[in-house]
A and B are shown apart, each in its own frame.
Chain A
Amino acid sequence: MAKASSLYPGVTIETPLSGKDPIQADGVTITELPFLGKVTLRGNAADPAFAAAVKSVLGADLPTQPLSSLRVGNIRVFWKAFDEWLIWTNEDAQIQLITDLNAALSGIRKSVVDVSDYYTVLRVDGARSRDLLAKGCVVDLHPRSFKPGQATGTGFHHATIFITLADADTFDVMIRWSFADYLWAYLADGAREWAPA
C-alpha cells in the first residue's frame, strides 16, 4: 500500500505489496499489515540491569520462554532466541521506542536495531487459515500445539517466515521484503481452492 508519509511531507512510502488487494476466499482472507514498526532487541536477559531497563520502557518483563510472546498495549514482544527479541509496534511508534530503549540501556550490553522495512507482515485469517498455511508451513499449527501468542521462525517452501497466532484463527506472518511477493503469490495460489467461482 503506497501512501503519503506522515513524518516526511511530500514523500510517498511503499510496502513490498503496494497495490495488492486483500485476498478473500471462502473461510480465509489474506491482508498485509503494512508499516508495522519492527525492532530487533538483543541483550542478556539474565543481566538484572538489562531486564530492569527493558522493563522500564516496555512496562513488562521480556518473555524468556522459547516461542512465547507478550502484548503490552499496542506493542508485541516475541522471544526469538535466548538473547534476541522482536518487537512489533504501531506504525512509526518504533522510532520513540528505539530512542527510549537506547536511553534506558545506555552502558548495558545490547543492540537495538530498526528492522521495520526489512520485513512486512501478512495476516492470514479465518476458519481455513490453518489449511492454507499447511500448504507450505512446516510447523504444526493445530490449536493443541500452537496457541495464541506463540511465535516461531520457520520455513515456507523457499521463504523464511516468522509466524505467530494472534487470535483463535488469525495468524500474522512476517516475511522479508524481497520474499513478500513470493509468499503472497503462494498463498493466493493456495487459496484458489476456496475462491469464489
Chain B
Amino acid sequence: MSQSYRLSDKGRLDRSQKLTFTYDGQSYTGYRGDTLASALLANGVKLVGRSFKYHRPRGIMSAGSEEPNALVQLETGPRTEPNTRATVVDLYDGLTAASQNCWPSVKFDVQSVNQKIAKLFPAGFYYKTFMFPASWWTPVYEKIIRRAAGLGKSPMERDPDSYAQKFAFCDVLVVGGGPAGIAAALAAGRTGARVILADEQQEMGGALLSDDALIDGQPALDWVAKSLAELARLEEVTILPRTTVSGYYDYNYLTALERVTDHLGPQADDRIPRQRFWKIRAKKVVLAQGAIERPLVFADNDRPGIMLAAALRTYINRYGVLPGRQVVVFTNNDSAYKTAIDAHTAGAVVDIVDLRVDPTGPLVKQAEALMIRIHKGSAVVATFGKHAVTGCEIAKISADGKSLTSDTTFIGCDILANSNGWNPSVHLWSQARGKLTWDAEKNCFIPGHAGPWLPVAAGSGTGTYDLGNCLSQGFAQGAAAAQAAGFGSGEVPKTPETEPLVEGPERMVWTIPGKKPLGHGKAKHFHDHQNDVVASDIHLAAREGYLSVEHLKRYTTTGMGTDQGKTSNVNALAIMAEIRNAAIPEVGTTTFRPPYTPITFGAVTGQNRNHLFIQERTSAMHPAHVENGAVFEDVGDWKRPWYFPKTSKSGVTETMDEAVLRECRQVRETVGMLDASTLGKIDIQGKDAAEFLNWVYTNKWDTLKPGRARYGLMLNEHGMVFDDGVTTRLADDHFHMTTTTGGAARVLGWLENWSQTEWPQMEVYMTSVTEQWAVCTITGPNARALLADVTSMPLDPETFPFMAMQEGTVAGAPARVYRISFTGDLAYEINVPARYGLHVWRALQDAGKSHGLCLYGTETMHVLRAEKGFIIVGQDTDGTVTPMDLDMDWIVSKKKDDFLGRRSFYRTDTKREGRKQLVGLLTDNPNFVLPEGAHIVEDVKPKPPMKTLGHVTSSYYSPNVGRSIALALVADGIKRKGDTLSVPLMNGHVEKVTLTDTVFFDKEGARSNG
C-alpha cells in the first residue's frame, strides 16, 4: 500500500521530498506539501477513528479546519497532542499519530457495542441516567462518562517546546488568504498602510489551490504567486501563513495562532518558538475567511469514505490523491459537479445523485457531455460498509422531500462525496458582535449589521462565490479599509478578467428520507459527526420542549466539541425550523465564541512559565539572604526572608519552629537584624503637607517637629482602619511616610485621589520611594552598640531619642536612620539608597559578630510584634475594625475638627455595644498554640452551629513570654477582659482561653529605650 491512491500528475506537492510517517504503528510515506489526512488517503487509509458516543468507525470528512471526524493523537510522550485534526496537520518526516477513542484498536473497538444498543443512548442520556443519587456523580458517574466518551489524552509530561507571544499593530488586518483576502491585502498594502495578511493554511490561495480557474487568461495560482511576491516586496506588509486568527475581541483586538515549526515536526532545539500567539490591534479588519461546505443529512452518512464534495476535489487537485475508484457525488447544487468532473477526469467511475429534478447550468451540461451518469430527483437513502463505505442505495424522492417514490438502486462506491451547499464563515464577524442575515436565495447566513468596530467582509464569506466578484470585493474592501485607516485615496484596483460563475438553484432537503422513518430502524442521520448527534435527536429535543437553539445545543450537545459545529450548526437549525414550522432565522443561532479552532495552552502562555510565570521581587540585600541560607516567604510578589535556619556542626538543620524560637530569644537578648526594605514609602512635599496628613491620619501632624516621627492609623470613609505606619517629618514641608508592604500602592492611590479630586487647593505632592530605599532594621539591647561601630552619628538617647530621625553615614554610606520600633525593643531602621543596601547589610553583619547579632525573618518579626500587641493591618483587622475596636482611642485626635473617617464614628453601628474588639488571649494550656481563624464561643455545643463571639487573628508560641500568646477580635472584648471563653476546634478539642490585655511582654514599655 505505497501511496497507491496517489495521482501522478496532480497536486501541489514537492515529490522530491518523500516523508515517512507512522499511523497506528504502521509506517507510510507521503510528500512535502501533504497533510496527514491527504497522506493517509494516498495510502488507502480511510478508517481513522471511532466516534465520540457510539464508537462508530469514522474517516476523513473534510480537507480543512472544519474537520469533525478525523481527530488523532499526534506524537507521543511530552509532545503528544490530543484531538488534532488530521486535515490540518502538515506532514513532516517522522510524524507519529494514532487514532483516538478506540480500544484495543481502531478496527476492533470494544465499545462499538454502543452502536448496537444505541436505543439506550438517546440525546440527554447523561442528564437522564446519571441523576440519582447526587452523591454518585463525582466518584461514579463522572468516571464512567469520562472513560466511555473519550477524546484524546492530554500529555502528562512537561512540554519541551518553547512558545512566544507577539503584540502587533497594523492599519489593516486581512483574515484569510484566498482570492478576496489577497486582493484586499494588495489594495491596502499598495497604499503604504501596515497590513497583516493571515491564513490558517500552509499555503496562501484558499479555494484557488484546489481549483483550475483562470485569472486574466492565466492559471489563477500564477496570479496568487505574483500577488504574494508583490506583497512580500511591500515593506509594511506582513504575510502570515499557518496562522489562524482565533478570536475577535473589543476594539479590533484579535488573537492569532502562528504555527512556526509545527510543519517541521518536533525540534531538538527549542530556541525557535514552536508557536507564536499574536495579539493584534488593527485599525480596520477585513474578514475574508471563505466558506465551509455543508454536508447532507442522510442515512448512515458517517462511514469512512463519505466526505464533503469540495474536500474530495481538494484531495484530487491540491494533494494529488484520488482516494477511491468508484465515486458517488450526492448533491443539491452545481458546485459538487466540479468534483464529479475532476474525479472522472482523474480516472474514477463517477455517479452523480442530484436531489434536483431538473438541474441546469453549464456544469451539469459539462458532466453530461463527459457521460457521467446523473441520477436526477434522487437521493442516497442508505449506505453500506463496515470499516469504509462500499456502496449505497439511491431512490427517487417526493416533491416535498419527505419520502421515497421509487424502489432503491444499489451503487457500489468507495467514496461518497456530498454537498448541501455552503456556509460562509461568519464566526469572527459574529464574535465581533456583528449580526447575521439569512440569505433565502443562497440558503445560508451571511454577515448582516456589523458590530461596533465595523469590520468588513469580502469573498465567499459573504456568500459571493463568483471569483471575479470575490476579487473585486477584496480590492474594494482593502482599499476602503486602508483609506479608513488613513492611507490611500480609496481608489480600487482594477479587477482582472475571470470567467463568470453560472449556477442553477439548490434544492434544500434538510433531512434526506431513509428507507424507514427517521428514528426507526438502525440507520442514523448524523448532522453532528463529532458529537454523534443525529436528526432524530433534534426531534426528541423538540418533543421534550427544548425548542430554543440554546436549549437544543445543550440538550443534544450539537455544535459543541473541538469543531464547534462548523459543519453541523446550520443543518441542526434548519431541521429544528422544519419541526417548528418556522423560518430558519427565527430559530436563531448560538453564539460564536473564540477560539475559531482549538489553540494550545502553550501558545497562550507564551514565555510566561517557569521562572517567568510570576515575578519574584527581591530587595537589594537578597544576595546576602541567599548566602545566609534564608528560607523565603512569599509576601505579595516579594521573596522575603522567613527565617534563617542554622545547621549544626553535625549537619542537622533547625526546623522552622527551632529557628524562630532562637531568633525571637536572641533579638531580645542581644540584637537582631531584619530586611525591612519592602515597606511602602511615600515622599510627601508641599507647604500643606502637614495639613494633608491631618486629614488622612486620625492623629495630629502639624505639631510634629522636623526630625521626629509618629505612628499613624489611616481610615477609610467608613471609619475603618485600612493602613498604618510611621511617618517622619524631614522638614516643615517634607514628610517620609511608611505604609504596610502590601498597602503601598493602595495608599498612594488613596492619597492621590483625595489630593486630586477633593483638595486640589492643598499644595502637596506624593512620590513613591519604596524601592529607592533599602532598609536594615537592627533591634535589641545591643542595637545601639552595634550601630555605634559603624557610624559617627550621636546615638545617646538625649540627642537621638525614640521616634527621631537623623541623617549621616552608616558603614560609609549616606543614610537616614529612624529610631522607631516594631519589636518594642530598642531599634534603628537604617535607610540607605538601594545601591548601598547590600554593602551596609554586610557591614552590619560583620560588625554584629561581636554583639551577638542574629538575622531574623518575617516569622520572628510577627512573634515579636505580637508580644507587644502591635497590630498587622489586614491580619488583626479586616476592614470592619475602628481604632476604638482596637482599643486605640489614644490615636484618634480630639483636637482636630475633622479627618477622613471621623464622621462614621457617629454612626449607630460604630457606636453600638457588642462590636468585636481586639484583645489578648491566654490559653489554659500554656503550650497550646491556637490556630489562627479559630472561633471563640461562650457555649460549646457538640457540633456547629454555635454562636461565635469572634475569632483568633494572630497566634504564636512566644519564647520571651514563655507561653503561647494570641490576639483575637471578640464581641465586647475590651470590657470582658478576665473572662474565660472557649475555642472549639475541628478535631473536637476545646481550649479554654482567658481574655487579657494585648500587651504580653514589657508592659511598661521600658525596653524601647535600650
Which residues of A approach B to under 8 Å, CB–CB?
A: 5, 8-16, 18, 35, 40, 42-43, 83, 109-119, 134-138, 140, 142, 144-145, 157-159, 176-179, 181-182, 185-186, 189-190, 192-193, 195, 197
Contact = CB atoms under 8 A, between A and B. Distances in A.
16 contacts: A8-B809, A8-B813, A14-B838, A109-B763, A111-B767, A115-B769, A117-B774, A117-B835, A119-B771, A136-B167, A157-B612, A178-B615, A178-B618, A178-B771, A186-B612, A195-B271
A93 to B, nearest CB: 15
Given A13-B836, A189-B612, 10 more contacts: A5-B813, A12-B839, A14-B834, A109-B687, A110-B765, A111-B767, A113-B767, A114-B833, A115-B769, A117-B620
B615 A193 contact: no
A12 B164 contact: no
Contacts of A178: 615, 617-619, 637-638, 771
Given A11-B836, A178-B771, A113 B685 contact: yes
B833 A117 contact: yes
Interface string B748-787: 0000000000000001011111111110000000000000
B273 A193 contact: yes
B834 A192 contact: no
Given A117-B772, A135-B607, A137-B167, A158 B614 contact: yes
B928 interface: no
B168 interface: yes
B169 A185 contact: no
Contacts of A142: 169, 194
B165 interface: yes
A111 B766 CA distance: 8
Contacts of A112: 685
Most B Cβ at <10 Å: residue of A15, A177, A197:
A177
B772 A115 contact: yes
Contact of B771 (A40, A137, A144, A176): A176
Interface in B211-238: none
A176 B677 CA distance: 14
B686 A111 contact: yes
A140 B169 CA distance: 6
B856 to A, nearest CB: 21
A193 B839 contact: no
Interface of B: 162, 164-169, 194, 269, 271-273, 281, 606-608, 611-612, 614-620, 623, 637-638, 683, 685-687, 763, 765-774, 809, 811-814, 833-839
B298 to A, nearest CB: 50
Given A110-B765, A113-B769, A117-B772, A185 B686 contact: no
Q: 3 closest A-B pairs (Cβ-Cβ)?
A: A111-B765, A178-B617, A117-B834
B687 A189 contact: no
B617 A179 contact: yes
A14 B622 CA distance: 12
A11 B812 contact: yes
A92 to B, nearest CB: 11
Contacts of B608: 157
A177 B620 contact: yes
Contacts of A137: 167
Contacts of B769: 113, 115, 118
B835 A35 contact: yes
Most chain B CB atoms below 10 A, which of A11, A83, A134, A137? A11
A197 B269 CA distance: 9
A158 B763 contact: no
A177 B767 contact: no
Nearest to A189: B607
Nearest to A83: B765
A189 to B, nearest CB: 5
B166 A159 contact: no
A143 to B, nearest CB: 10
Contact of B607 (A83, A118, A186): A186
Contact of A192 (B165, B271, B620, B771): B271
Given A111-B683, A115-B769, A116-B772, A11 B839 contact: yes
B768 to A, nearest CB: 8
Given A111-B686, A157-B608, A177 B167 contact: no
A118 B835 CA distance: 9
A30 B772 CA distance: 23
B685 A179 contact: no
Contacts of A193: 164, 271-273
Contacts of A117: 620, 771-774, 833-835
Contact of A11 (B166, B269, B811): B811
Given A10-B812, A117-B835, A190-B607, A109 B686 contact: yes
A19 to B, nearest CB: 9
B772 A13 contact: no
B193 to A, nearest CB: 10
Contacts of A185: 611-612
B234 to A, nearest CB: 14
A119 to B, nearest CB: 8
B524 to A, nearest CB: 49
Contacts of A144: 194
A118 B833 CA distance: 8
A42 B767 contact: yes
Contacts of A83: 765
A9 B272 CA distance: 47
Given A134-B166, A185-B612, A115 B767 contact: yes
A13 B768 CA distance: 22
A172 B770 CA distance: 22
Nearest to A196: B271
A181 B616 contact: yes
Contacts of B614: 158
B194 to A, nearest CB: 7
A138 B167 contact: yes
A82 B419 CA distance: 64
Contact of A13 (B165, B168, B616, B839): B839
Contacts of A43: 765
A192 B773 CA distance: 34
B765 A42 contact: yes
Given A15-B835, A40-B767, A158 B813 contact: no
Contacts of A158: 614-615, 637
A144 B619 CA distance: 39
B812 A177 contact: no
Nearest to B271: A192
A24 to B, nearest CB: 14
B607 A179 contact: no
A11 B813 contact: yes
B615 A179 contact: yes
Given A8-B814, A40-B767, A192-B162, A182 B169 contact: no
Contacts of B611: 185
A40 B269 CA distance: 45
Contacts of B169: 140, 142, 145
Nearest to B162: A192
A5 B770 CA distance: 22
Contacts of B637: 158, 178
Given A111-B683, A117-B833, A189-B607, A135 B166 contact: yes
Contacts of B194: 142, 144
Nearest to B613: A158
Nearest to B683: A113
B167 A134 contact: yes
A42 to B, nearest CB: 4
A83 B773 CA distance: 24
Contacts of B836: 5, 8, 11, 13
B271 A182 contact: no
A178 B741 CA distance: 13
A42 B783 CA distance: 38
A69 B768 CA distance: 22
Given A140-B281, A195-B271, A14 B835 contact: yes
Contacts of B812: 8-11
B719 to A, nearest CB: 30
B9 to A, nearest CB: 41
